[in-house]
Structure 1
Amino acid sequence: MKNTDTVWDIVEAKRDGFFALSDRIWDMPETNYEEHHSAEEHARQLDIEGFRVERGIAGLPTAVMGEAGEGGPVIAILGEFDALPGMSQEAGVAEQREVKANGNGHGCGHNMLGAGSMLAAAAVKAFLAANGLKGRVRYYGCPAEEGGSSKGFMVRAGVFDDVDIAISWHPAAFAGVNNPVSLACNEINFHFTGRSSHASATPHLGRSALDAVELMNVGVNYMREHMPSTARIHYAVTDTGGSAPNVVQARATVRYLIRARNLPELLSLVERVKKVAQGAALMTETSVGSEVISGDANLVGNAPLEELMFAKLQRLGPPVFNDEDRATARKFQQTMSSEDISSSYARFGLKPKKDQPLCDEIFPLYAGDSTIVGSTDVGSVSWVVPTVQMRGATYAIGTPGHSWQLVAQGKLPAAHKGMAHAAKVMASTAIELIGNPELIDAAKADLRARLDGTPFVNPIPNDVQPPLPERQSQ
């Protein structure tokens, strides 16, 4: 096969159009399952690049897929484009300054994630055509990663059933292939129902749903001492049952996000939390019902794919930033604490360096602190398809995730350069796999070995529907 490095030249030739796509998505931040404009922008770019485009895949109105090529293996490159609520921030400004009060913003860099993945897919498409190679590349534009678990619903719908390999990336402070570790999770509403009454005249006739929520929270907090140290549980009271203290609250809802190291551990922990909820209902003589909102499986690693992607990273080298990029990054670092910066290094298993505003290295394969992790719906894909993802350096070292600083850096030249760098790595990884079927076979064998005796159980039950806005308003 022709040298796969030539796909990097294709990325360079196409990058400006995808920088513009990333910036357009930054300008229209949309949250879970409301990404109609963002999804249409992605579909339009796929049309421009000559992909066969499908909108609304898996019954999700804001999910899009583009395919190119014929025959051969199917390589999926995963993208995202959802934003976060309350993260509005002016671009390029190293001080907190909202564009719109309480507006949305791309605090996790998904404007870059989607555009960079599509850039990689477009480069693979062009390489296959130019070299007359068999193989198919698909770009999956996935909505609602931030708590909406769209990929879990897409897995359940079977859209990955004929995919051989899945590739993705995520914006970060450093570039590399780190430990493929994430926490399995479920987001569950617990609805308590009691009986209202006059809180002073007839308190004995009331049964407080809000009391039940408070007791559930106390019970779960006591449970923390007796659960695995890698597990995490968070909650928010979403309905207190009213604002009048002289009325016993007949309803109340608390939403729990339960995380665990793997699926079996998660399923066990969820059952324990449900028992606490039942106990709170018994103590208050109320009733309780639960409703799963979303769920992600933990990431399943794949050594053959990770070693291949890391080799491509080493061959390419770190992203190339200039003095102006570094000067801008230093301004943002001045808004961060020393703990922010040291934690950024620790997360990727690196020793802190003085005056290193941007990444100028590739961090070692599998480096990083496996306790500083969250959840991702890429995990659900990794149980059914051999999956690999990298981190791409796109913002100043020390930038907290889900922060105004991250939003503000999302359109800078450094963000564009890091995005193109990640696209080159993903594209060359895909081309290498298409040209070497034995690598795909090795990746599939690795996944089978890891899952031996542990069948996939989607943390989203079959009767749970995606939390689309139109359903939530009914």
Structure 2
Amino acid sequence: MSNTNENPIWSHVDAKREAFIGLADRVFDTPEIAYTEVRSCAEHTAMLKAEGFRVTQGVAEIPTAVIGEAGEGGPVIAILGEYDALPGLSQQPGLAEPRMIDPSGFGHGCGHNLLGSAAMLAATAIKDWLAAEGIAGRVRYYGCPAEEGGAAKTYMVRDGLFEDVDVAITWHPASFNGVDDARSLANTRIDFTFTGKAAHAAAAPELGRSALDAVELMNIGVNYMREHMPDDARVHYAYLDAGGSAPNVVQAKATVRQLIRARDLKGLSDLVARVRAIADGAALMSGTKVASQVFSAVSNLVGNRPLEEAMQAAFDSLGPVPFDAADMAFAREIRKTLTPEDIADVFHRLSMKPDYDLALCDFIAPLDRPFAGGMGSTDVGDVSWAVPTVQARVATAAMGTPLHTWQQTAQGKAPFAHKGMVHAAKVMAATARSVILSDVLRAAAKKVHLDHLAAFPYTCPIPAETRPPIAAE
């Protein structure tokens, strides 16, 4: 891409773009879910070694987490990558119709095959630029598994892996371009296991105490709680063990996972206490006992205005992703499978009037856009409490494509997804270059971060005794 504001670090991205597009495609072809990303991590590790990074594997007691570092002295820049997939989203790439590769398989329905590859491409470009210019500084690529519900970054933060980092930078695939709005919900996943007493459900039900009844009573209590929660709080649940498939046996054991979300850590703590009280009440009513185990937890995102302004400048200098007519044609085919509500949602989040004719994003969202509501959760949140952090959103899919859908997976190897991935690497690399070269920017980012911590001290939402759920499915 020719640009009168050409950043000298962009050429280092372009020099290795094809190798990292290949990495993204290989990870797409071997989708693995939280904490099982053995092949995906191996691909990332091999690429780190090939590029000359100093590699540390199995960090934070997680076999599929890896760190690669390059450079000497100076500020430390962390670039965060991910590579986990999602269950049930197997999909043939390049088709604008649902067609599973494996009906029981996994798929990259959130674009993490692109996320990790672009992050490492950016880290490699920073490494090469530091070496070429003889500038003191270190870049560190964090290969982070299990973002989808596993909270690996929270464990990494808890283990002190970001203590010497000056700034963390990352991105996420999207259908638009812009600096991420640093709002997200803190959450925790807690498994509640009820233990009762088995009995013959017809001959002697009075001798039994149903753990399944306890789970259902708990869910009823949680559902009644919804009326009395803050508007932006959320609670979801899933049965992990319903007690078996025999209805003529009183179920002696059952487990439900409660996913509790709140605007911040304080609100999360309050809701968790209420959910635990409901579990105790369900056990009392059913004559069972209850035990709980935290599976994962993440904090809400903390914004950093100086870094956001630096990333916005990089976006404005680079411009939108350079899509072509062939890209637009496939994107239009995908758009035919989306509802008007899907398409309108992305514009609503950007506080813009929907453009139902725009197949691929051709603009950079303004930094100071009104907040339109609707938030998810991410373990990047805990990194943002540990170190000043900034995140980009870059178009890799047709406008309005919802994440966690077959449509997102179908676009995971599209040429326009590759272009968006390389664009994201340039945005991140340019932002890192600005941070490394400017003592003023680093100091400003650090002050904003420390001021926030002074007002809202951080407590890791995962208990100290909880280990990463490596054996979890």
* Structure-1-length-normalised TM-score: 0.97
Percent identity over the alignment? Answer: 58
Corresponding residue for 1:122?
124
Show CA shifts across 1:253-299 (max 9, x none): 11110000000110110010000000011111111011000000000
Quick one: distance in 2 between partners of 1:178 and 1:38? 26
**Which letter does structure 2 place at the counterpart of 1:302?**
N
Quick one: distance in 2 between partners of 1:354 and 1:91? 24
Corresponding residue for 2:143?
141
Quick one: distance in 2 between partners of 1:370 and 1:274? 32
Show CA shifts across 1:300-353 (max 9, x none): 000000011001101111111001100100000001111110012112322211
Report the Cα offset of residue 367 of structure 1: 2.7
Corresponding residue for 1:433?
435
Report the Cα offset of residue 453 of structure 1: 3.1
Quick one: distance in 2 between partners of 1:366 and 1:186? 30
Quick one: distance in 2 between partners of 1:263 and 1:77? 25
Quick one: distance in 2 between partners of 1:152 and 1:71? 26
Quick one: distance in 2 between partners of 1:382 and 1:43? 25
Quick one: distance in 2 between partners of 1:372 and 1:309? 23
* Alignment check: 8 A CA contact 1:116 1:419 kept: yes
Secondary structure of the corresponding residue to residue 129 of structure 1: helix
Secondary structure of the corresponding residue to residue 383 of structure 1: helix
* Alignment check: 8 A CA contact 2:302 2:385 kept: yes
Quick one: distance in 1 between partners of 2:6 and 2:401? 33
**Higher mean C-alpha deviation, range 341-350 or range 189-198:** 341-350
* Alignment check: 8 A CA contact 1:346 1:368 kept: no
1:58-457 counterparts in 2 under 5 A? 58-367=60-369, 369-457=371-459
**Higher mean C-alpha deviation, range 54-63 or range 168-177:** 54-63
Corresponding residue for 2:469?
467
* Alignment check: 8 A CA contact 1:179 1:366 kept: no
Report the Cα offset of residue 214 of structure 1: 0.7
* Alignment check: 8 A CA contact 1:179 1:368 kept: no
* Alignment check: 8 A CA contact 2:343 2:356 kept: no
Alpha carbons of structure 1 residues 166 and 409: separation in structure 2 relative to 1, 3 Å: same
Report the Cα offset of residue 446 of structure 1: 0.2
Report the Cα offset of residue 50 of structure 1: 1.1
Contiguous gaps of at least 5 residues in structure 2: none
**Which letter does structure 2 place at the counterpart of 1:50?**
G
Report the Cα offset of residue 10 of structure 1: 1.3
* Alignment check: 8 A CA contact 1:178 1:368 kept: no
Report the count of equivalent residues: 469
Out of 47, 50, 62, the position equivalent to 1:48 is 50
Report the Cα offset of residue 210 of structure 1: 0.7
Report the Cα offset of residue 179 of structure 1: 1.6
Show CA shifts across 1:9-30 (max 9, x none): 1111111110110000000101
Quick one: distance in 2 between partners of 1:99 and 1:204? 49
Out of 3, 6, 9, the position equivalent to 1:7 is 9
Quick one: distance in 2 between partners of 1:441 and 1:318? 29
Quick one: distance in 2 between partners of 1:226 and 1:307? 38
**Which letter does structure 1 place at the counterpart of 2:353?**
K
Quick one: distance in 2 between partners of 1:377 and 1:122? 23
* Alignment check: 8 A CA contact 1:186 1:459 kept: yes
Runs of 4+ residues over 4 Å off in structure 1: none
Report the Cα offset of residue 59 of structure 1: 1.5
**Higher mean C-alpha deviation, range 202-211 or range 411-420:** 202-211
* Alignment check: 8 A CA contact 2:187 2:262 kept: yes
Quick one: distance in 2 between partners of 1:348 and 1:143? 29
* Alignment check: 8 A CA contact 1:77 1:168 kept: yes
Quick one: distance in 2 between partners of 1:169 and 1:105? 19
Report the Cα offset of residue 368 of structure 1: 5.8
Quick one: distance in 2 between partners of 1:416 and 1:179? 23
Alpha carbons of structure 1 residues 78 and 370: separation in structure 2 relative to 1, 3 Å: farther
* Alignment check: 8 A CA contact 2:298 2:378 kept: yes
**Which letter does structure 1 place at the counterpart of 2:431?**
T
Contiguous gaps of at least 5 residues in structure 1: none
Report the Cα offset of residue 366 of structure 1: 4.1
* Alignment check: 8 A CA contact 2:180 2:390 kept: no
